[in-house]
Amino acid sequence: MMETAEERSAYGRYLASRRKPENINRRGRPAGTPDGWNHSAVQVARLAAEVEAEKLIKRLIKQGAIAADDAKGIAATKKALVMVRCPGRLRDRRRAAKRLLQHYHPNISGLL
């Protein structure tokens, strides 16, 4: 057995020298990155979803489904559309849907 601090330290350095470099700094995924995705791929998907959401919101405003002066409703709709199109957790999608329901139909969502 290694009894002195120097022996334990030398053994630790020996084990560290045998490790593969790709396994040393394993810290997990950044927050907001779902399983099977890397952070840059999620950012690209989110930007594409935002562009698509903006186009759809413009169509909804033109059709009269959303009032043009309703900034809160537009923001809620955009966030929900982006969440639906982006990779991620089901919990986040449900939150976005509930936010839309609370804005447009508070009596259904349990607010009133």
Position 80 confidence tier, pLDDT thresholds 50, 70, 90: confident
Share of the chain above pLDDT 90, in %: 16
Position 25 confidence tier, pLDDT thresholds 50, 70, 90: low
Share of the chain above pLDDT 70, in %: 84
Measured over all CA atoms, what is the biggest interatomic distance in the chain, rounded to whole angstroms?
79
pTM over 0.95: no
Question: What is the dihedral sign for C-alpha 103, 107, 108, 109?
Answer: positive
* The pLDDT of residue 23: 64
Average pLDDT of the segment spanning 72-82: 85
